């Protein structure tokens, strides 16, 4: 009887470990997706920053030229 209960306990622990493994794999997958999305967001922000910087430099050059030509 004690052997059966020990086997049942081991089987239960194995089942719990399998569920934990599935959940951890799911979390790892979600983290990979999140990292990918964060990388995309960083690229977008860098691209927009460069555009804004380009517009600012163009405006400064235009203003300085307008002042010098005047």
Q: For residue 29, give its domain range.
A: 1-70
- d(CA 26, CA 35) in angstroms, rounded, equals 14
Summarize the confidence of residues 6-31 as an average pLDDT.
95
**Total-model pTM:** 0.62
pLDDT of residue 2: 57
The number of domains in the chain is 1
User: What would the pLDDT profile of 26-68 be if each residue is shown by its tens digit?
Assistant: 999 999 999 999 999 999 999 999 999 999 999 999 999 999 9
Cα radius of gyration rounded to whole Å, the chain? 30
């Amino acid at each position: 009887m004690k052997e059966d209960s020990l086997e049942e306990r081991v089987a239960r622990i194995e089942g719990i470990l399998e569920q934990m493994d599935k959940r951890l794999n799911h979390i790892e997958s979600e983290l990979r997706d999140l990292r990918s999305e964060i990388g995309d967001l960083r690229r977008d922000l860098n691209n927009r920053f460069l555009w804004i910087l380009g517009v600012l430099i163009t405006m400064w050059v235009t203003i300085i030229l307008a002042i010098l030509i005047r």
